[in-house]
Structure formats: C-alpha cells, structure tokens
C-alpha cells in the first residue's frame, strides 16, 4: 500500500516539476507613450534625486548662516531625513501605482512638493528646516519618485538599461544645475535665501507639469491581493539583493553631502568647493547615460557590482587628497561610477518582479528598506567627523561598506552552488524548447536543479542581457 502511494505521489509531482512556466509578460520596448514615460521620469528625477544631490550646497550655506551653531551631524540630519522619506514613501506610492496608475498619484503630490519648497524658503530655524525640507519635502518627493520609475520599468525590459539610464540622467543634470545656480544666487547676488529657493521651486513646477502630462502605464491595474506582497521576501534574488543594496546606499550619499565641506577644510575657496558638486554630477550624468550600453555588454548585475565596488575604493582614496586638482578628479570619477549604481539598481530590483503590475510594489518595498540606510549613513559619518576632528574615520567607514557588501557576493549566496547570473539568464522556461529544458535540468544536480526551476517559475521574461 505504501509503495503504491509513493508511486502515485511521484507521478503526481513529476508533471509539476516539468510543467512549462507561465508565458512571459509583454513589454512594449518603445513607442510614443513609452518614451513619454521616460521623459516624465526624467523630470521627476530632476526634481527628486537631483534636488537631494545638491544638499551639499544647502549644508555648507546653513553651517555659515542660519545654523552656524549646529554641528555637521545635526545639519546632515536634514538631508538624511529628506532622503529617508523620499525612499520610504515608496512603501505607499508603489502599491498605489500598481492599483491606480501613476498619474493619479503624481498630480496632487507634485503640487505638494512644490509647496514644500516654498515653505523651505521661509525657514530660519533648525526645526523648521527639519519639518519643511526634511519631513514634508522628503515625503511628498518620494510619493512622486517611485510611480514614474515603475512606469518606465513596465514599458521596457530588454531596453530597460538604456531607458533607465536616460531617465535617471535627469537627477545628474539637476545636480549640475542646482549647485551652480544656488551658489550664484546665495553667495554672489542680492536675492537672499528666500527668493533663491523660490526660483528653484518655480523651475521644478514647470518640470512637474511636463511630468504629469506625459506619464502613463501599459500594465493592467492590480485589482486584488494585499497592499504589500510579503511573498517577495521569500525569494533570495529579491531579498538578498535588497540587503546588499542597503549597505551600498548607506555609504553612497556621503560624498554628495561632504565634498564641499571637505574641500573647504583643505583650504579650497568656498565658491570652488561648491562647484565640485556640479562637477561630480556632470560625471554622474555621463555615467548614467553610458550605464545602459555597459549593462548590455557585461550584464546589469555585473555593472552594478563593479561600479559600486569602485565607488568604495574611490572613497577610501579620498582621504589622501589635499589639492583642488585631486578633488576635481575624485569628483568626476565618483560621479561617473555612482551614476552607474543609481542608474542600475532600480532596474535590477524590477527584474525580480514576476509581473509588470507588481513592479511598483516590489520597488516600493525595497526603497522602504533602503530608506533606513539613507537616514542613518550621513549622520553617522557626520558624528565621526565631529568626534575625531577630521574626515578619515568617516571615509574609512563609508569606503569599506561597499566592497565588503557588494550585490554579487550577496546574490551568489542566495543560491547554493549556482550563480545568480546563470539562474536569471534562464528567466522563463516558456520560450525554451522541451529539449533545452531537459538538457538544462540534466546538467544540474540536487539543489542547483531546484534553484533553477524556482527561478524559472518566479522570474518571467526570457533570455536577456548578461
């Protein structure tokens, strides 16, 4: 009796193992609406990530004017809180994007973001900056950030690195324009702080209008299911990638916050030190545009891993720089490779989503975790600067985080005895012939076979880029 039952069980489970995977979802890979979504994301990235990239100018200005009695660590909390809420708001806007589409979310919260900038122009006290620029500005900023990123990822798959590289270049261009414009208005004109910030707000208002008019989504709206997709964390390709990215984001903002103040500490003129942020973002602009081509050559995860490791090495080299020429070279190189990281990481997160209409939720949950890294990274390094009286300890802390916790090492650990890159190459059995599937499975043993079958069931699209 037991033998018969065992045979029945084996027969019942065999078809499940050999069952073909669901048909991969369709991605338009282009068209007018797709590229308009890229334009919308470009405008939002200009207003969101680009604005945060320029916080180094605000930090240097606050420390010499309104908040000269506050420590570097306390001032850094303003930008860190802003970055925290920008990322953590994805926990709300991501699932809402999947259910209602991007435009319903983008229109009201874009207006609220502009309102937060206007409030910021009226601030003079530390707690006011925390509320207006940090909490309110960061939160409504984040509610516009995730939906447009998800929309681009829903339109593109094979051409996603190119599309995301173009879209994310908006924040780099903003990082070039905002520091130069703010430095001129704050330090070389009679406009004052209030009108300098308001002019920036009016520029972002114009871009917000363009973003709201051009955004769209091709994916069907998710009508059912829980708001948060807890099962996503059961898949190592997602959970381990987010864990690795946590440590990368923890260190990545440090140069953008402290390049101006470090330059001033080694005797570089205030105006020149502020231009270093623009130089770094100019390098980032090129890096993001080229990240798509690089990803198509060596793979998306490989591009992310290599670029993040180089960022860590550059931060460790930073502490030896004592001249303007050295700071310019560092700013360009760090900007270029950090641009690759920022241009790639949301796209690699989207790869793990099984359907286009859950990409927003997957990205939102990941950004919610990464928000904790953006909240704590720069205040920790700021406290180290104040405690030790120099930048060495802070730069060592930031520099060793990235090489030791690079994404590839973490992702490899998520699949025993098999490469994540090899697994994801075979994202769907739906477009493999039966002979190819049998050949692949016979070539693997034990846990490897189970892991590949699991990835084939979880990740939808086909043989892509690596």
Please list the residue range(s) of the chain that carry CATH number 1.20.1250.20.
32-218+230-413
- Torsion angle of C-alpha atoms 88, 90, 95, 97, degrees rounded to 10: 160
Residue 245 token pair: 């990215």
The confidence score (pLDDT) of residue 22 equals 53
Q: What does each of the 466 residues of the chain score in pLDDT, given as a tens digit?
A: 444 444 433 433 434 445 454 556 667 777 899 999 999 999 999 998 888 877 878 888 898 889 988 887 788 889 888 888 988 888 888 888 878 888 888 999 999 999 999 999 999 999 999 999 999 999 998 898 888 888 888 888 888 888 888 888 888 888 888 888 888 898 888 888 999 999 999 999 999 999 999 988 886 677 665 667 777 888 888 888 888 888 888 888 788 778 888 898 888 887 788 788 889 888 988 888 888 778 878 888 888 888 888 988 999 899 889 899 999 999 999 999 988 888 788 778 888 888 777 878 888 888 888 888 888 887 888 888 888 888 888 888 888 777 655 544 444 444 333 334 433 433 333 333 444 344 334 433 343 344 433 433 333 333 333 3
Contacts of 222 (CB under 8 A, 6+ apart): 98, 99, 357, 358, 361
Residue 354 token pair: 């099984």
Q: Where are the alpha helices (DSSP H) in 320-391?
A: 324-351, 359-388
Q: Are 461 and 427 in contact (CB under 8 A)?
A: yes
Radius of gyration of the chain (CA): 23
Q: Are 267 and 261 in contact (CB under 8 A)?
A: no
Which CATH number, 2.40.50.110, 1.20.1250.20, 1.20.1560.10, 1.20.120.530, labels domain 32-218+230-413?
A: 1.20.1250.20
Please, is 32 exposed, middle or buried when counting C-beta atoms within 10 Å of its C-beta (0-12, 13-18, 19+)? exposed
What does the DSSP 8-state code read for residue 221?
P
Q: Cα–Cα distances in Å, from 103 out to 136, 202, 355?
A: 21, 21, 20
What does the DSSP 8-state code read for residue 428?
-
Which DSSP string corresponds to 3-59?
HHHHHHHHHHHHHHHHPPPPPPPP----SHHHHHHHHHHHHHHHHTHHHHHTHHHHH
Residue 389 token pair: 């009286």
Q: Cα–Cα distances in Å, from 42 out to 20, 50, 165, 173, 386?
A: 38, 10, 10, 10, 37
CA gap 150, 226 in Å, rounded: 18
The confidence score (pLDDT) of residue 454 equals 40
């Amino acid at each position: 009796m037991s033998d018969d039952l065992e045979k029945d069980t084996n027969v019942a489970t065999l078809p499940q193992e050999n069952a073909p995977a669901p048909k991969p979802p369709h991605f338009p890979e282009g068209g007018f609406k797709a590229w308009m979504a890229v334009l919308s994301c470009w405008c939002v990235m200009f207003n969101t990530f680009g604005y945060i990239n320029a916080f180094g100018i605000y930090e240097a200005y606050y420390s010499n004017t309104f908040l000269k009695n506050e420590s570097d660590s306390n001032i850094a909390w303003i930008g860190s809180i802003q970055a925290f809420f920008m990322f953590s708001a994805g926990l709300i806007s991501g699932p809402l994007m999947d259910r209602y589409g991007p435009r319903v979310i983008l229109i009201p919260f874009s207006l609220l973001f502009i309102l937060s900038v206007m409030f910021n122009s009226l601030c003079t006290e530390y707690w006011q900056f925390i509320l207006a620029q940090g909490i309110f500005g960061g939160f409504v900023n984040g509610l516009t950030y995730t939906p447009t990123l998800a929309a681009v990822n829903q339109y593109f798959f094979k051409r996603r690195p190119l599309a995301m590289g173009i879209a994310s270049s908006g924040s780099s261009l903003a990082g070039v324009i905002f520091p130069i414009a703010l430095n001129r208005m704050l330090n070389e004109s009679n406009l004052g702080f209030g009108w300098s910030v308001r002019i920036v707000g009016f520029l972002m208002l114009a871009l917000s209008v363009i973003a709201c008019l051009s955004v769209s989504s091709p994916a069907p709206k998710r009508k059912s299911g829980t708001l948060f997709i807890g099962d996503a964390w059961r898949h190592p390709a997602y959970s381990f990638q987010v864990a690795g990215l946590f440590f990368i984001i923890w260190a990545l903002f440090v140069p953008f916050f402290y390049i101006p103040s470090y330059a001033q500490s080694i005797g570089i003129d205030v105006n020149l030190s502020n231009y270093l942020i623009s130089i770094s973002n100019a390098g980032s602009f090129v890096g993001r545009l080229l990240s798509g081509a690089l990803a198509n050559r060596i793979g998306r995860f490989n591009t992310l891993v290599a670029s993040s490791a180089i960022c860590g090495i550059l931060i460790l080299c930073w502490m030896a720089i004592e001249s303007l020429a050295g700071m310019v070279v560092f700013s360009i190189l760090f900007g270029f490779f950090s641009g690759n990281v920022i241009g790639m990481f949301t796209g690699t997160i989207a790869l793990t989503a099984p359907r286009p209409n859950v990409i927003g939720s997957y990205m939102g949950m990941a950004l919610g975790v990464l928000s904790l890294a953006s909240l704590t990274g720069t205040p920790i390094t700021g406290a180290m600067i104040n405690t030790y009286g120099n930048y060495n300890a802070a730069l060592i802390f930031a520099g060793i985080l990235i090489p030791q916790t690079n994404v590839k090492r973490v992702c490899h650990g998520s699949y025993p005895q098999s490469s994540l890159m090899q697994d994801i190459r075979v994202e769907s059995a739906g477009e493999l012939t039966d002979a190819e599937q049998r050949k692949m499975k016979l070539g693997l043993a034990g846990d490897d076979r189970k892991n590949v079958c699991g990835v084939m069931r979880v990740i939808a699209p086909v043989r892509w880029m690596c």
